[in-house]
Chains A and B, each alone.
Chain A
Amino acid sequence: MDMPDPRAAVLSKKANLVERLQAVLPADAVIHEAQEVLAYECDALTAYRCPPLAAVLPSSTEEVAAVLRICHEEGVPVVPRGSGTSLAGGALPTADSVILGVARLTEVLETDYDNRFIRVQAGRTNLSVTGAVEADDFFYAPDPSSQLACAIAGNIGMNSGGAHCLKYGVTTNNLLGVTAVMMDGTVVEIGGAHLDAGGLDLLGLICGSEGQLALVTEATLRILRKPEGARPVLMGYNSSEVAGRVVSEIIKAGILPVAIEFMDRPCIRATEDFAGAGYPDCEALLIVEVEGSDAEIDAQLGVILQIARKHDPVAIRESESAEESARIWLGRKSAFGAMGQINDYMCLDGTIPVDKLPEVLRRTAEMAAGYGLEVANVFHAGDGNMHPLILFDANAPGELEKCEALGADILRLCVEVGGCLTGEHGVGVEKRDLMSDQFAPEDMEAQMRVKDVFDSAWLLNPAKVFPLAVSAARRAA
């Protein structure tokens, strides 16, 4: 993976730039010593690291605007950073860039239950948004698995999803408005507490733009009343085809579960060794969760179980208590930890049409065998969002490269069967060079024109999303 060479003209004016930033921010909000900027050298895609020129931690929209105005004038690239949990390298700096971290923007600004929204500063963590309203029985629906740490700003940047998207949608479906700062320091308000922003859908455009269009400092988010209850059921099958058919039949029956999770045998075995949730040893395990009152849950699970039993399950486990529900989720929730215990792993997130699941699993296994690597699959089955985990040894020479090559093959397969490279993690640097496999040059050109409008000098997170060769002329201009 390549990054553009740092601009010598920027590197040479570091002292002057730091001085200008210090003039608009408190002393402790400008981090520039070589040892200190190391904390910002990577995000959760730790295979790639590069210390930035400096990092700034503004505490208000005005401070963000002041920083961006200076960087715009000086021609310095800016890399926005939420909590640094991106698995795609969305917050990876270059040596000539300033990291703009939103970690100090954490306040709740307004909570309104009558109108069902919360307005927060964008550095607030995902889970603490729900935390601010759960005592009143409300919640914020998108729940990426990093929700304890990840920031709303990053969620908006990557249009994050989570396990409950099938029913509640992803970030863009739950975002009502933003306060954002353009690269030249202009502050804009888009949308608000009302539904559907007026004019062209700039809110939809900014959400998922990976910090390349504007820097979001505040967000108005839709909150929902908590359902009366939720309950999962677990079922095991001896083939992924059959499990896929069960998912499809549940959906066709008119039931909209809040989550349908899938795990394959390698993943089941690893989590059993790690967490001992008592999962059946089988080819394909499904966890289906529905919501409502007890009676409503019983009725929905009745339909689901009827479908499940028709397909010769290896095991079915129903829950009769909160403890049993927690045990059903235990293995799934510890899947990533279990993999980490075995080895280093790379987590992909291509999405496929759900009916292609058996084919994709079979061909993934064949490709992995060709590379001599193991892949475990955990999967949001309802919406087709795969999470193949490629196990490898980062200390063995050549293994990372082999793992990346397999990952690229798997993602190309996702595109080939009608899916996409990334369902919720974002392109970042990780999938940047695969964009040409999904998009024709004119498709990428149309997207880059949007960036031209928002950030004509290509200073905001410039080396992400588009293959470097494709964006080269614009970045050099």
Chain B
Amino acid sequence: MIAPTTEADLAAAVASADGPLRVLGGGTRPVGRPVAGTPLSAAALSGVELYEPGALTLVVRAGTPLAEVEDVLAAENQRLPFEPMDHRALLGTEGTPTIGGVVAANVSGPRRVQAGACRDFLLGVRFVDGTGTVVKNGGRVMKNVTGYDLVKLMAGSWGTLGVLTEVSLKVLAGPEAEATLVARGLNDAEAVAALCRALGTPFDVSGAAHLGDGVADGPRTQVRVEGMASSVVYRVERLLAELPGFVAVEGAESAKLWREVRDVTPFAGEAGAVWRVSVKPTDGPALTAALRAAGLAHRALYDWGGGLVWLLVPEDGDAGAGAVRDAVAARGGHATLVRASEAVRAEVPVFQPEPGPLAAIGAGLRARFDPRGILNPGLMA
């Protein structure tokens, strides 16, 4: 394991590498086609460079533990608005998630539906490309259209275009209060209809999820509001009027419901492969119905109002890839095989296969940012 402690050392390590590198943060998110290569960890590049609560700006080295970032923000009653998922329970991994890993995987949670994804809060990056050159893009200010937006490109590129060494993020205040409206026993279509109705109100819903069969006490549909205490009370009242059959829970009880959704805990420790599918919300229930019709047994968890579908499927054969990708292709969207054995991930494309021209652009970008093909080669293939 190479674990440089400075950006310059990391750049030198990449420049002098004579073979493939397996780029890591904390190593808690082993998603993608397995990579054979020397592990290169950015975890030793750690620490907060700059934090200005009054400007909602945080600049931090990529290897900084996510928990440390969250603690620093919490001390000023602020947080990462995109609510990044902790993959450890679902993927059965151990270790310390890093902020660089969150960015490299563009990890967002339930609040993505309201606030935006990790990439939407990423203001700037520094990274080492495949030649060992340090590149910076973006900055620390909220509005910046100076040159191309390589910041977005780096988010979700899984270390295939460069090794992140520093990230700047926009943060937001934590809320004074939160509450969740909960309904039990709705079927998928009823649930997603209710979630769409909630998201279409002016009441600033910050979470809209449905946990289908297999959850203790049966299917659970949930809608969250956060903000000033008096405002939460008001919006809960208005939403209850819009959503018959829901009841409200508050505070820690509400927060617990969302950690389960964020971390997909109903599928943690359950045998099988896990897919993460993004479609438009009303297509969520139609997609799972199509999978049932195609004979693919599964359990589903819907986040983002129905648009993010987590599927637990048997890990036989292609782990459902044929059926899942057909169902996605019929509707538009994309599917990622987030959890499966190395053997399955070596055979089944983990990321959504792209049409020729887009695949060519992706290949072209990798060839130019990493001309020797040494950074997580094949991971996104």
Q: Is the CB of A353 within 8 A of B140?
A: yes
Q: Is the CB of A194 within 8 A of B228?
A: no
Looking at A29-37, A51-59, A108-116, the stretch in contact with chain B turns out to be: A108-116
Q: In the assembled complex, how far is the CB of residue A55 from the closest CB belonging to chain B, in whole angstroms?
A: 25
Q: Is the CB of A438 within 8 A of B137?
A: no
Which parts of B231-247 form the interface with A (CB within 8 Å)? 231, 234
For the complex, give the distance between the alpha carbons of A189 and B358 in Å: 8
Q: Is the CB of B141 within 8 A of A423?
A: yes
With a 10 A CB-CB cut-off, give which of A195, A203, A252, A427 has the most chain B CB atoms. Answer: A195
Q: In the assembled complex, how far is the CB of residue A374 from the closest CB belonging to chain B, in whole angstroms?
A: 25
Q: Is the CB of A419 within 8 A of B119?
A: no
Q: Is the CB of A384 within 8 A of B139?
A: no
Q: Is A77 an interface residue (CB 8 A)?
A: no
List of A residues within 8 angstroms of B185 by Cβ: none
- Partner of A355 from B54, B152, B156, B278 at Cβ < 8 Å: B54
Which parts of B326-365 form the interface with A (CB within 8 Å)? 332-334, 336, 351-352, 354-355, 357-358, 361-362, 364-365
For the complex, give the distance between the alpha carbons of A198 and B275 in Å: 14
Tell me the nearest residue of chain B to A168, going by C-beta.
B116
Q: Is the CB of A423 within 8 A of B332?
A: no
- Partner of A296 from B76, B151, B231, B283 at Cβ < 8 Å: B231
Q: Is A209 an interface residue (CB 8 A)?
A: yes
List of A residues within 8 angstroms of B215 by Cβ: none
Q: Is A172 an interface residue (CB 8 A)?
A: yes
Given contacts A116-B200, A201-B106, A299-B231, contact A450 B362 (CB under 8 A): no
Q: Is A358 an interface residue (CB 8 A)?
A: no
Tell me the nearest residue of chain B to A450, going by C-beta.
B148
Contact with B along A153-168 (1 / 0, CB 8 A): 0000011010001100
Q: Is A196 an interface residue (CB 8 A)?
A: yes
Given contacts A295-B234, A353-B52, contact A256 B173 (CB under 8 A): yes
Q: Is the CB of B56 within 8 A of A351?
A: no
Q: Is the CB of B234 within 8 A of A449?
A: no
Contact with B along A244-261 (1 / 0, CB 8 A): 000111011111100000
Residue count of chain A within 8 Å CB distance of chain B? 93
For the complex, give the distance between the alpha carbons of A254 and B56 in Å: 10
Q: Is the CB of B147 within 8 A of A465?
A: yes
Given contacts A193-B280, A196-B278, A248-B55, contact A114 B135 (CB under 8 A): no
For the complex, give the distance between the alpha carbons of A438 and B136 in Å: 10
Which parts of A408-437 form the interface with B (CB within 8 Å)? 418-427, 431, 435
For the complex, give the distance between the alpha carbons of A161 and B143 in Å: 8
- Partner of B150 from A421, A431, A450 at Cβ < 8 Å: A450
Q: In the assembled complex, how far is the CB of residue B165 from the closest CB belonging to chain A, in whole angstroms?
A: 14
Q: Is the CB of A442 within 8 A of B365?
A: no
Q: Is the CB of A169 within 8 A of B365?
A: no
- Partner of B351 from A116, A173, A198 at Cβ < 8 Å: A198
Q: Is B212 an interface residue (CB 8 A)?
A: no
Q: Is B273 an interface residue (CB 8 A)?
A: no
Q: In the assembled complex, how far is the CB of residue A202 from the closest CB belonging to chain B, in whole angstroms?
A: 6
Q: Is B263 an interface residue (CB 8 A)?
A: no
Given contacts A115-B280, A195-B278, contact A352 B141 (CB under 8 A): yes
Q: In the assembled complex, how far is the CB of residue B141 from the closest CB belonging to chain A, in whole angstroms?
A: 4
Looking at A91-99, A224-232, A308-316, A340-348, the stretch in contact with chain B turns out to be: A224-232
Q: Is B176 an interface residue (CB 8 A)?
A: yes
Tell me the nearest residue of chain A to B161, going by C-beta.
A200
Tell me the nearest residue of chain A to B281, going by C-beta.
A115
Q: Is A199 an interface residue (CB 8 A)?
A: yes
Q: In the assembled complex, how far is the CB of residue A164 from the closest CB belonging to chain B, in whole angstroms?
A: 12
Q: In the assembled complex, how far is the CB of residue A189 from the closest CB belonging to chain B, in whole angstroms?
A: 8
List of B residues within 8 angstroms of A452 by Cβ: 364, 368
Tell me the nearest residue of chain B to A245, going by C-beta.
B54
Q: Is B35 an interface residue (CB 8 A)?
A: no
Q: Is the CB of B141 within 8 A of A351?
A: yes
Which parts of A134-184 form the interface with B (CB within 8 Å)? 137, 158-159, 161, 165-166, 169-170, 172-173, 182
For the complex, give the distance between the alpha carbons of A254 and B202 in Å: 20
Q: In the assembled complex, how far is the CB of residue A175 from the closest CB belonging to chain B, in whole angstroms?
A: 11
Q: In the assembled complex, how far is the CB of residue A150 from the closest CB belonging to chain B, in whole angstroms?
A: 14
Given contacts A114-B196, A194-B333, A300-B228, contact A208 B358 (CB under 8 A): no
List of A residues within 8 angstroms of B134 by Cβ: 442
Q: In the assembled complex, how far is the CB of residue A245 from the closest CB belonging to chain B, in whole angstroms?
A: 8
- Partner of A446 from B52, B173, B281, B369 at Cβ < 8 Å: B369
Q: Is the CB of B116 within 8 A of A209?
A: no
List of B residues within 8 angstroms of A182 by Cβ: 357
Contact with A along B279-305 (1 / 0, CB 8 A): 111110000000000000000000010
Q: Is B145 an interface residue (CB 8 A)?
A: yes
Q: Is the CB of B369 within 8 A of A296?
A: no
Q: Is the CB of B358 within 8 A of A169?
A: no
Q: In the assembled complex, how far is the CB of residue B154 from the closest CB belonging to chain A, in whole angstroms?
A: 8
Q: In the assembled complex, how far is the CB of residue A311 from the closest CB belonging to chain B, in whole angstroms?
A: 14
For the complex, give the distance between the alpha carbons of A419 and B55 in Å: 12
List of B residues within 8 angstroms of A193 by Cβ: 280, 332
Given contacts A182-B357, A202-B361, A449-B368, contact A195 B112 (CB under 8 A): yes
User: Other CB < 8 Å A-B pairs besides A199-B380, A254-B173, A351-B144, 5 of them?
Assistant: A196-B112, A248-B54, A254-B174, A351-B142, A422-B146
4 A-B pairs with the lowest CB-CB distances in the bound complex, closest first: A204-B152, A198-B334, A248-B54, A254-B173
Interchain residue pairs with CB less than 8 A apart (13): A159-B149, A196-B108, A197-B334, A200-B361, A201-B155, A205-B148, A208-B145, A252-B53, A300-B228, A353-B57, A383-B142, A420-B141, A427-B147
A interface residue numbers (CB < 8 A to B): 112-117, 137, 158-159, 161, 165-166, 169-170, 172-173, 182, 186, 188-190, 192-205, 207-209, 225-228, 247-249, 251-256, 292-293, 295-296, 299-300, 351-355, 380, 383-385, 418-427, 431, 435, 438-440, 442-444, 446-447, 449-454, 465
B interface residue numbers (CB < 8 A to A): 52-57, 76-77, 106, 108, 112-113, 116-117, 119-120, 129, 133-137, 139-153, 155-157, 161, 172-176, 196, 199-202, 204, 228, 230-231, 234, 278-283, 304, 307-308, 332-334, 336, 351-352, 354-355, 357-358, 361-362, 364-365, 368-369, 380
